[in-house]
Amino acid sequence: MIGVAVLGSTGSVGESTLDVLARHPQRFRLVAIAANTNAAKLARQIRTWRPAYAALADEHAAGELHALLDGAAHGTRILAGPGALEELALLPEVQCVMAAIVGAAGLRSTLAAARAGKRLLLANKESLVMAGPLLIAAVKASGATLLPIDSEHNAIFQCLPPGVVSGVAPPGLRRVLLTASGGPFRDTPVEALAAVTPEAACAHPNWVMGRKISVDSATLMNKGLELIEACLLFGLTPAQVQILVHPQSIVHSLVEYADGSVLAQLGAPDMRTPIAHALGWPERIDSGVEFLDLLKAGRLDFRPPDTDKFRCLALAQAAALAGGLSPVVLNAANEVAVQAFLERRLNFPAIAAVIEAVMERASGGAIGGLEDVLAADADSRMRARERIGPVTAPARGAHA
């Protein structure tokens, strides 16, 4: 019986993980669940699953959780505060950690799981973007198993030869091709983007995702972050990662080898496939996903991304080339700008404008340790907020 902790259990990846776990009660035991702020959904999950531990990173939300449970925690120990997620990741009865807390909030617990030698199912791409060299070094030092959950990186992993080492490109690999749906605005004229709403940006045509990652998909920043992630996971240079817009989201990514072979992983656009792959690896287990019908799909289309229209992707490519702390700056400015867009304080094109302004003022430099990462993250967030203006700023117009 494998003990599992799901960090980010209330999000879309977390809920999909719970769905897969429910299909294999003889194989997995849910030991711990955790969320950042969603007390209401976590309370419902506690009543359903009755795990040994549950945690909320936000201490104020933890008070709400206790009130919702009304003393009926069903034997679940409740933890709260910034260190709670790390505590769950380090539990001796947990062998497998799903790292699905969105954004920089998941960094410390992801690093803790890596340092503890756990099987780390990585859905929190920001951990790699911010502190990739530190995370890969921790995995190698502890002997942890790092398995990517992003559908694209999981697809690449499935197309690599057995025995691949995190951060090291296998012999004969020429390049990888990351596919992108193109998001809800892939065919929207550039002049219409200033008027798009958060609701439209979050209405992804193929995937069901949280609000932040949905906006990232709409700006193509998500693909830029995935490019950085792919370089770190698989030991690639940015020049070895090509991005293709593939509207059907059936080919999840491809790997090209020196002999001319191109291997691809295909499947229905459902996160339960990569989750089940990582949970069961090296075996294959049932995911509950509808099987792919290529005759029904009919066709597979590919085209290059428009980096003039989607400036966030170009900015991410520049950060990948610069390396060091540049991806930290990119990620921090993006998180602040996306939140401002969701709060209607920033229009859609201004997300990229804010990120670019922050990157232009950043000093960059190498990553010496976690302190460097956290300092660059805090400074970039401050600069992004200054650029956007106060919370009471009007929602109309192209800020920044």
Q: Which of 106, 144, 111 is nearest to 123 (CA)?
A: 106
**What is the rounded distance in angstroms from the CA atom of residue 66 to the CA atom of residue 217?**
35
pLDDT value, residue 67: 85
At 400, is the pLDDT very low, low, confident or very high (cuts 50, 70, 90)? very low
pLDDT value, residue 105: 83
pLDDT value, residue 395: 46
**Tell me, what amino acid is at 377?**
D
φ, ψ for residue 95, nearest 5 deg: -100, -25
pLDDT value, residue 398: 45
**What is the rounded distance in angstroms from the CA atom of residue 73 to the CA atom of residue 93?**
20
Does the pLDDT of residue 399 top 80, yes or no? no
At 209, is the pLDDT very low, low, confident or very high (cuts 50, 70, 90)? confident
Q: Which residues pair with 273 in a beta bridge?
A: none
pLDDT value, residue 241: 97
Q: What is the pLDDT of residues 386-398, one digit of tens each?
A: 999 886 544 444 4
pTM for the whole structure: 0.91
Q: What is the pLDDT of residues 129-187, one digit of tens each?
A: 999 999 999 999 999 999 999 999 999 999 999 988 898 999 999 999 999 999 999 99
**What is the rounded distance in angstroms from the CA atom of residue 135 to the CA atom of residue 225?**
16
At 301, is the pLDDT very low, low, confident or very high (cuts 50, 70, 90)? very high
Report the b/e string of 299-330 with b at 16+ CB within 10 A.
eeeeeebebebbbbbbbbbebbebbbbbbbbb
Compute the average pLDDT of residues 275-286: 97
**What is the rounded distance in angstroms from the CA atom of residue 364 to the CA atom of residue 358?**
11
Compute the average pLDDT of residues 278-297: 95
Tell me the three state secondary structure of residue 114.
helix
Compute the average pLDDT of residues 206-215: 79
Domains, the chain, ranges and CATH?
A: 2-149 (3.40.50.720), 173-269+302-388 (1.10.1740.10)
Does the pLDDT of residue 326 top 90, yes or no? yes
- Report residue 200 as tokens: 């439209």
Neighbour count for residue 293 (Cβ, 10 Å): 9
- Report residue 305 as tokens: 């991304």
**What is the rounded distance in angstroms from the CA atom of residue 326 to the CA atom of residue 377?**
10
Lowest mean pLDDT among 72-76, 83-87, 224-228, 331-335: 72-76
Report the b/e string of 179-208 with b at 16+ CB within 10 A.
bbbbbbbbebeeeebeebebeebbebebbe
Placement of tokens 């699905």 in the chain: 100
Q: What is the pLDDT of residues 82-118, one digit of tens each?
A: 799 999 999 999 999 999 988 778 899 999 999 999 9
Cβ contact 109:86 at 8 Å: yes
